[in-house]
Structure 1
Amino acid sequence: MLKFIAAVSFAFLGFLSAADARTITDAAGRKVDIPDKISRVLAAGPPASVLVYVLAPDKLTGWVQAPSDAEKPFLMPSVRDLPAYGRLAGKGGTANMESVIAAKPDLIIDVGTVNPTYASLADKVQAQTGIPYVLIDGSFAKSAETLKQAGDILGVPDRAKTLADYADAKLTDLNDKLATIPSDWRPKVYYGRGPTGLETGLAGSINLEILEAAGATNVAAAAGKGGLTQVSLEQILSWNPDTILAASSKFAASVKSDPTWASIDAVKNSRVFVTPSLPFGWFDAPPGINRLIGIAWLEKLLYPKVFTFDLSGEVRNFYKLFYQVDLTDEQLAGLLKGAATSQN
């Protein structure tokens, strides 16, 4: 196996040096030589899959995880049945070097948190395979920049500018309007993952990034700083959120019917909502460019008197622009089921 990797690496590097190439500096400060023309891209993790899909679906070699039957109708037909290679980066890496090489990518892209651990992984994979590996900052506040950088790398700057202009306009409008909202209007929110809802993100967690961007208080920040963690019902009761966001419809249903949750303001005031998730999560899972529609949803959910746009129209526009699919009325209703109040 090692001889196979070494042989492929040598051959690839020879090709790259012979072909037109350019050197870029990625988000980790790494100098990476990439081909001028990129036709096949392998995503190292879920956020990268979304980014490559929205920018250049024809260049996507496959998925980190195969789309489910429920997700496929919200994706372009050409990508629905691409193979799944597993993930290289992040928790629970499942891809192996042999499958990476077999995919024959011109480039590997990872998007999200950039730190020495991810940089070291990129260096290691690039050394083993000979395939250029680029890290891109996936911070939500830098969504427009992320799109432009990736678009330049992938050779689709016009497409990237269109999407980046949307992201820039959305975040500018968000911040302008948030500046007019008094602090005592800002909601206290608990976000629960999984069927029991007892997994959440601490202060600084990328999984709760858009909640902070929306000007809301993550009540779990009281438990400290970090990533995802398990909390207890007793902690949630003490935090007493006025809004609960549930990644799982099962969790949302249990909260509404379980008497042990009944004393929480969010439950008493019917402020328990399911985060939409097709084909990618609006709030999280993955924490990528897909969150741009999530911020529109949060605006309407948390501040309906300030953000008065038509949410249904915004969703249709986003899916057409980013995912290149036209939503049916039934699909739209399904996306928003359990995710919005009648006032939104």
Structure 2
Amino acid sequence: MLRLLVFLSLSVLSCATSRAGETREVVDMAGRHVRIPAQIGRVYGSSPPATLAVYAIAPELLIGLNTPFKTDEKALLRKEVVDLPALGSQAGMGRPLNPEEVLSRKPDLVIAWLDGLEDRAKTEESFAKLGLPVVFLKLDTLADYVPAYRFLGEVLGRKQRGAELADYLDDALTRVAKAVGDIPADKKLRVYYAEGPDGLATDCDKSFHAEPIRLAGADDVYHCEPKSHMGMETIGLEQIIALQPQLILALDPNFARSVASLESWRNVPAAKTGRVVAIPRAPFNWLDRPPSFMRGLGVQWLANLFYPSRYPLDLKAETKKFYRLFLGVDLSDADYARITR
């Protein structure tokens, strides 16, 4: 009997060890064939868009953040992630990534951002040296998130969850496009996207940073080709006056509150009429910086803001639905008022 028990124990240990060492091959969104563990239990996102993409589908798998969450953000996030360590980022804001620090957290997989601010070759090289597999997600447009979540669902063993998130975003895009897609160019609302504390930085209309404005059927008045993926190009106030925007979307809430009272902006139609709107940003910006799945709600908010008769929306109900689905939190009315004030 003792020999039988020992044999069975060794057999179970052998099977467990075998399973732990099993791998499978996936083709990521860069077309790369990557061998990854059969079961993924720990994940690191090498930049904010990648980390936030993982947060929405499987927050319990994250081993760390790119930047720490602010105190007022934590109440709107799942408790599994709020106190995770900040490990840095391969691209974007925050301190530079320390691959050895990531390795110490024993991730099974690194998720990286394809065609974004990340240097693909540098990302591959950094983690290859540590023996960590990397898969790339294409996340530049909101439409990219639909296949990205289906892919993540397969990779992370969350197929149903990935499909649920992808279906929501696909439906939102379809409804918005149907509502605003036929607006003639000369009838589109003229919008200026104000970035920075003084509102004198912006993004070209063709930039992926400004995509939600285009999707919602407005004319981003700063027509140009982006000089870089980073964006936030400097613009003069005289040029803004000449562009005659009817509405200003402000990244900085302090600028949004003060611009209408600034004498220097009095000749900007949107400032003169008080049509200056701060972009909601808790716990993550609804449109940009970082760009994320939040655009699925943000583009609906914009379509309703720009053309309420074309895209009627119960924003409070949709916001609560979205936060429950993507962020895993139930918003109170007070939460909603604080987010959208």
Scaled by the length of structure 2, what TM-score is found? 0.89
2:107 alignment partner, one of 97, 105, 108: 105
Q: Which residue of 2 aligns with 1:75?
A: 77
Q: Is the 8 A contact 2:206 2:224 kept in 1?
A: no
Aligned partner letter, 1:108: V
Aligned partner letter, 1:131: L
Aligned partner letter, 1:127: A
Residue 183 of structure 1 and its aligned partner are, at CA, apart by 2.9
Q: Which residue of 1 aligns with 2:56?
A: 54
- Do the aligned partners of residues 112 and 319 (structure 1) sit closer, same or farther apart at CA in structure 2, a change above 3 Å counting? farther
| CA displacement 1:168-210 (0-9 Å, x = unmatched) | 1101111111234333331111111221122211243222121
Matches of 1:225 and 1:141, distance apart in 2: 23
Q: Which residue of 1 aligns with 2:158?
A: 156
Q: Which residue of 2 aligns with 1:169?
A: 171
Matches of 2:148 and 2:18, distance apart in 1: 25
Is 1:322 equivalent to 2:326 in the alignment? yes
Is 1:66 equivalent to 2:55 in the alignment? no
| CA displacement 1:206-231 (0-9 Å, x = unmatched) | 22121122222222224765433121
1:233 alignment partner, one of 230, 237, 242: 237
Residue 30 of structure 1 and its aligned partner are, at CA, apart by 2.1
Is 1:96 equivalent to 2:98 in the alignment? yes
Matches of 1:294 and 1:16, distance apart in 2: 46
CA RMSD of aligned residues (A): 2.1
Q: Which residue of 1 aligns with 2:128?
A: 127
Matches of 2:77 and 2:295, distance apart in 1: 16
Q: Which residue of 2 aligns with 1:254?
A: 258
- Rg bigger for which structure? 2
Matches of 2:143 and 2:288, distance apart in 1: 15
Q: Is the 8 A contact 1:204 1:225 kept in 2?
A: no
- Do the aligned partners of residues 16 and 305 (structure 1) sit closer, same or farther apart at CA in structure 2, a change above 3 Å counting? farther
Comparing 326-335 with 92-101, which one deviates more in the overlay?
92-101
Q: Which residue of 2 aligns with 1:118?
A: 119
Q: Is the 8 A contact 2:87 2:97 kept in 1?
A: yes
- Do the aligned partners of residues 177 and 132 (structure 1) sit closer, same or farther apart at CA in structure 2, a change above 3 Å counting? same
Aligned ranges for residues 1-344 of structure 1 at < 5 Å? 19-90=21-92, 94-111=96-113, 113=115, 118-138=119-139, 139-222=141-224, 226=228, 227-337=231-341
Residue 124 of structure 1 and its aligned partner are, at CA, apart by 0.8
Aligned-partner SS, 1:220: coil
Comparing 326-335 with 174-183, which one deviates more in the overlay?
174-183
Question: Number of paired residues?
Answer: 322
Structure 2 residue ranges without an equivalent (≥5): 1-16
Matches of 1:112 and 1:314, distance apart in 2: 30
Percent of paired sites with the same residue: 37
| CA displacement 1:291-330 (0-9 Å, x = unmatched) | 1111111011111111112111100100011101010111
